[in-house]
Chains A and B, each alone.
Chain A
Amino acid sequence: MEEVAVVGVGQSVFSRKCGVSIRELCFEAFKEAMEGLDITGNDIDASIICSAPEYDKQRSPAGLISEYLQLTPKPSFYVESVCSSSSTGLRVAWSLIKAGLHRIIAVIGFQKMSELTSREAAERMGRGGDIIWESPFGITMPAGYAMYARAHMAKYGTTEEQLAKVRVKNSHYGATNPKATYRKELSLDDILNSEVITSPLKKFDCCANADGSSCVIVARGDVARGITQIPIWIMGLGAATDTMTMSGRESLTGLRCAQEAAKQAYGMAGIGPQDIDVAEVHDCFTISEVLAYEDLGFAKPGEGVRLIEEKQTYADGKMPVNVDGGLLSKGHPIGATGGSQIRTVVRQLREQATEAQVKGAEIGLVHNIGGIGQYGNVTILRR
């Protein structure tokens, strides 16, 4: 069977308020992804548009965006798994190419969260839980992850200071990322002294809502070799779910969807966590990055905090993670986030990172989670 490669990646600047329409926002990412490729829009056989629909004013955005980018009359459709929508889009693109239906596909993720107030956004996030049984109690995304943090602290002795060190690292790299919403270094004290949002998580333990777009262009192997100098190959794909309800969770010290997805992705790629040179993980909260270390096998359960304590997840450490600043610095435009993570890893593997470049990185991993661990996608890429 033909291999499948990522040939182009792009993203808009992520910001609190983009001031443009969603079609114009998507153009920014599409433009960057197409740069340097020996194709035009006419060569793209299909587009997959990814966002979380409850934030969209436009009904059925796929039609709108494919028109604006002049991708009609090629097929276009919408894919959603909340915060992991665009890595789900990549999975669908891979399978369409493998099946022989298409040769080149554009996966476009976006979110314009500034169309809503932050409380309205929080209400919609609350409806990301079970609306009969859990939303009526006032659940939010941060609250769900805070319950994971509390359970992790109780079981393993994880501290608020250790969690804050994740933000110290990510803010360090975010400060150099021209596409990030927050480009300011934060000290441990800044983070520990920030207001408590939902205990034990404080303001700077949380990522911010943002506007943004991402684009990943995927091609069949033989086509990829003809249109780009450095195709980045999709080695492994894993996808899994966990219960919508918090009450259905078997454990609050790790995300089962991520553990399952990682197992599948490593199995498909024929490698293990020790082979990963650089990773992007879904750090919607500081605790989420620590859970990711453990769920992906970078550390044993309960030992994830050691990686951050020992600075092993810095760019010059053993296992560099989120050296573009992560969601914590970039902001989290839901549907765009997975594509932005893929963009960072692809640029690392091409040795084109403008933030910290991990030297000689050949294999990279992307961990993209939807909701409070309802959906998990793990993608492994190689140069």
Chain B
Amino acid sequence: MGFENFGTVSFTAEAKAADFIAYLEAGKVMATRCRQCGASYFPPKMDCPRCLLSDMEWFEIKGNGKLSSYTVVNYGPAGFEADAPYILALGEFGDGIQIFGRLSRDIEEKDIELGMSLMVSPVKLPDDRIAYEFRRT
């Protein structure tokens, strides 16, 4: 399985990084690290452009991150009409890892503050689709 069921609308499926989805199904949000130089990557890369090697290991993104920015999208693109309004956000998880995604629908707009503590977790979507989202810690 690839990325065909990732997010509300997926645009492509095949990728060497498709294990990300298997991990997501198993409840884990993962990043990759180069075994040679130790550089870590999110979105996960399966190739290290510094070492020019493809010797990567997966590691789970655990612990709390911080909200860097967000926006409440009222006007979604084609395919996202039914989702709107939804909240896009950027979270910072340390060691240079930043993650882009959505805030959980459990979080109300009035409770959002930049810098607030977040965790990232898999979320099941309708029609057997899957993504991850930011939740309150």
Contacts and interface: CB of A to CB of B under 8 A. Distances in A.
A137 B77 contact: no
B52 interface: no
Given A137-B100, A137-B101, A247-B90, A143 B71 contact: yes
A150 B100 contact: no
Interface string A16-33: 000000000000000000
Identify the 10 closest CB pairs spanning chains A and B, nearest first: A136-B7, A146-B71, A123-B78, A122-B77, A131-B11, A138-B80, A133-B43, A123-B77, A147-B69, A151-B69
A127 interface: yes
B78 A198 contact: no
Interface in B66-86: 68-81, 83-84, 86
A171 to B, nearest CB: 21
Contacts of B11: 127, 131-132, 135-136
Nearest to A206: B75
A213 B59 CA distance: 49
A270 interface: no
Nearest to A252: B69
Contacts of B42: 247
Interface string A168-210: 0000000000000000000000000001111111000000000
8 contacts: A136-B11, A138-B80, A147-B71, A154-B69, A154-B114, A198-B73, A198-B75, A199-B109
A131 B73 contact: no
Interface string A262-285: 000000000000000000000000
A137 B71 contact: no
A248 interface: yes
Task: Find the residue from A127, A131, A136, A151 having the highest chain B CB count within 10 A.
Answer: A136
B90 A252 contact: yes
A140 interface: yes
B114 A136 contact: no
Contacts of B74: 195-199
B10 interface: yes
B131 A137 contact: yes
A147 B77 contact: no
A248 B98 contact: yes
Interface residues of A, number: 39
Interface of B: 3, 6-12, 15, 17, 42-43, 68-81, 83-84, 86, 88-90, 98-102, 109, 114, 131
A120 B86 CA distance: 19
Interface string A118-158: 01101101110011111111111011001110110010000
Among A126, A198, A252, find the residue whose CB has the most chain B CB atoms closer than 10 A.
Answer: A198
A38 to B, nearest CB: 48
Contacts of B98: 246-249
Contact of B88 (A147, A200, A245, A249): A147
Contacts of B86: 138
B76 A138 contact: yes
Nearest to B102: A137
Interface centre among B8, B17, B69 (most CB of A within 10 A): B69
Contacts of A150: 69-71, 114
A137 B88 contact: yes
Nearest to A116: B78
A136 B43 contact: no
A77 B103 CA distance: 43
A122 B8 CA distance: 15
A135 B43 CA distance: 13
B128 to A, nearest CB: 14
B100 A246 contact: yes
Contacts of B101: 137
Contact of B131 (A123, A136, A199): A136
Given A126-B77, A199-B72, 12 more contacts: A125-B77, A127-B11, A132-B6, A132-B11, A136-B131, A147-B71, A151-B114, A154-B69, A198-B71, A198-B72, A201-B71, A247-B100
Nearest to A125: B77
B73 A147 contact: no
Contacts of A143: 71, 73, 88
